[in-house]
Amino acid sequence: MNEWIHAVLENNIFRGACAGLGAAALVDYAAFRGFKNLDEALRYDWKTACWRWGQGFVGGAITAAGYGSVIG
C-alpha cells in the first residue's frame, strides 16, 4: 500500500473524522428507510443532511485531535 495512504488511514484524527461522519449518517438512516418512493427521497432536505454529515466529520476530527493530545 502507498505509504501516504497508509499514514492517513492510521491517523487517529482521520479515524475520528470517519467515526463522526458515520454517526451523522446514522441520524439520517431512519429517514432513508422511511422513503416509500423516489419522490420522497428527492424531497428530503439533502442540504441539511450534508451539513450534518460535514459537522460530524469535523467534530469527529476535532474530538480525536483533542483526545490524542491528552491521552497520546
Give the pLDDT score at 8.
Answer: 79
Give the pLDDT score at 1.
Answer: 61
Task: Write the burial class of residue 44 (CB in 10 Å: 0-12 exposed, 13-18 middle, 19+ buried).
Answer: middle
Backbone angles phi, psi at 68, to 5 degrees: -65, -35
Is 37 among the domain residues? yes
Is 5 among the domain residues? no
Is 7 among the domain residues? no
Give the pLDDT score at 27.
Answer: 84
Backbone angles phi, psi at 59, to 5 degrees: -60, -40
Structural domain total, the chain: 1
Is 47 among the domain residues? yes
Give the pLDDT score at 9.
Answer: 80
Domain extent at residue 54: 12-71
pLDDT tops 80 at residue 70: no
Is 59 among the domain residues? yes
> What Rg, from alpha-carbon coordinates, does the chain have?
16
Give the pLDDT score at 3.
Answer: 87
d(CA 57, CA 42): 24
pLDDT per residue as tens digits for the range 25-68: 888 887 788 888 889 888 888 899 999 999 999 999 988 888 65
For residue 62, the tally of other CB atoms under 10 A from its CB is 14
